[in-house]
Amino acid sequence: MSDCLFCKIVASEIPATIVHETATTLAFRDINPHAPVHVLVIPKEHYEDAAALAEAGLAGDVLIAAAAVAAQEGIVESGYRVIFNTGPDAGRTVFHAHAHVLGGTGLSLRLG
């Protein structure tokens, strides 16, 4: 999509601090981090949300890349979160499926 911020990052039209790349995914640092490690992992092709990503069979690629980012960033032992924001109440601002990899500190929200 020509107006999608993340598609422009994939096309190298907008700079990003890339930390990991595969044939189908790209991972880069969030410009407004909420943790010491806050990396976004996106599919290189445009998918609207996590459900569309799963239907295309690429959710596994994004999760594998997220795990590789966590290992590379040294947060596997201390723990990390992988979050997909989907839907109007989730606070999503870019409508290109993406996972947030968060870690490097105690994360205060307890989900279970």
- Active-site annotation, residues: 98
Say how far apart CA 29 and CA 7 lie, in whole Å: 15
Residue with tokens 């700079």: 15
Spatial separation of the C-alpha atoms in residues 63 and 60, rounded to whole Å: 5
- Long-range pairs for 83-91: beta carbons < 8 A, 24 or more residues apart: 84/49, 84/50, 86/49, 86/50, 86/51, 87/49
